[in-house]
Amino acid sequence: MDINKIQEYLPHRYPFLLVDRVLEIKPGEKIIAIKNVTMNEWFFQGHFPGRPVMPGVLIVEAMAQAGGILVLEQIKEAKGKVIYFMTIDAVKFRKPVVPGDTLRFEIIPIKLKGNIAKLHGDAYVGDEKVAEADMMAMLSEK
């Protein structure tokens, strides 16, 4: 799934669209997506000058965006709806993400009931896990 297709699912746009490509999607099972982290990212200007590090909250947001695509793809009647964060739990940051890294998100659904989805996400650079989180989201009208 390229960026044009991603924009059909997510309402986010620059500078807050944090998923560049979906490599694999199996509704009900998993999504694998990537974010190419470059020095041109808006947040590196202040986080941190001379030692650029991607803010952890944006890594979690990117995982949530990938999870949103998974949920919206799984629920066919969700077309035209949006998905909102409800909770974020068990977040762990294991290693800084810096310019030149390619973040790979692997998100799996834990539970989907009605308009509520519970997901688990892992973020990797190469084979090394850099972050993880449990997330809950709600499907809603725009």
Q: In the chain, where are the structural domains located? A: 3-141
The tens digit of pLDDT for each residue in 60-90 reads: 999 999 999 999 998 877 777 899 999 999 9
The tens digit of pLDDT for each residue in 85-122 reads: 999 999 999 999 999 999 999 999 999 998 899 999 99
What is d(CA 115, CA 124) in angstroms, rounded to the nearest whole number? 28
Number of CB atoms found within 10 A of residue 54's CB: 24
pLDDT of residue 76: 74
Residue 44 phi/psi, 5-degree rounding, is -70, -20
Instruction: Confirm whether 12 is a catalytic residue.
Output: no
pLDDT of residue 93: 98
Of the candidates 110, 14, 22, which has an alpha carbon nearest to the alpha carbon of residue 69? 22
User: Which listed CATH number (3.40.50.2300, 3.10.129.10, 3.50.7.10, 3.20.20.150) goes with 3-141?
Assistant: 3.10.129.10
User: Which residue of the set 47, 81, 118, 129 is catalytic?
Assistant: 47
> Would you say residue 7 has pLDDT above 90?
yes
